[in-house]
Homo-oligomer: A and B are copies of this chain.
Amino acid sequence: MSQEILVERDGMIATVTLNRPHKLNAMTKGMWRRLGEVFEELSADDGLRCVILRGAGSKSFSPGNDIAEFENERSNVEQARAYGKIMAHTLEALKGCRHPTVALIEGICVGGGMEIAGCCDIRICGTSSRFGAPIKRLGLVMAYAEIGALLDLVGEAYAAEILYEGSVFDAARAKEMGVVNRVVPDDVVEEEAYAAARRIAEGAPLVARWHKKFMRRLKDPTPLSEEELDEGFACFGTEDFQIGYKAFLAKEKPDFKGS
Which applies to chain A's interface (DSSP): helix, strand, loop or mixed?
helix
In the complex, the count of this chain's copies comes to 3
User: In the bound complex, do residue B157 and residue A123 qualify as a contact, i.e. CB atoms below 8 Å apart?
Assistant: yes
Q: In the assembled complex, which residues on chain B have CB atoms less than 8 Å from the CB atom of A161?
A: 121-122, 181
Give the number of chain A interface residues (Cβ < 8 Å). Answer: 85
Stretch in contact with the other chain, from A4-12, A18-26, A35-43, A226-234: A226-234
State which residues 134-173 of A face B: CB under 8 Å: 135-148, 151-153, 155-161, 163-167
Does any Cβ of B come within 8 Å of A249's Cβ? Answer: yes
Stretch at the interface among A55-63, A73-81, A106-114: A73-81
A178: contacting residue among B81, B157, B233, CB under 8 A: B157
Query: What is the bound-complex CA distance between A153 and B243, given in angstroms?
Result: 30
- CB-defined contacts of A254 to chain B, threshold 8 Å: 137-139
The answer to whether B147 and A218 touch across the interface, beta carbons within 8 angstroms, is: yes
* B144 and A229 within 8 A (CB): yes
Interface pair B155/A178, CB less than 8 Å apart: yes
* Bound-complex Cα distance A8 to B77 (A): 37
Contact partner of A203 among B80, B121, B158, B164, CB < 8 A?
B164
A210 engages B141 (CB within 8 Å): yes
Asked if A100 and B230 sit within 8 Å, CB to CB, the answer is: no
Q: Does A184 have its Cβ within 8 Å of any Cβ on chain B?
A: no
By CB atoms of chain B within 10 A, which of A138, A178, A254 has the most? A138
Closest 10 CB pairs of A and B: A143-B232, A136-B203, A139-B244, A80-B236, A139-B241, A121-B160, A139-B240, A139-B204, A141-B235, A138-B244
A-B contact pairs, 20 of them (CB 8 A): A77-B237, A136-B203, A136-B208, A138-B204, A139-B204, A139-B206, A139-B238, A140-B236, A140-B241, A141-B214, A141-B232, A143-B232, A143-B233, A144-B224, A146-B232, A157-B181, A160-B212, A164-B199, A164-B211, A165-B200
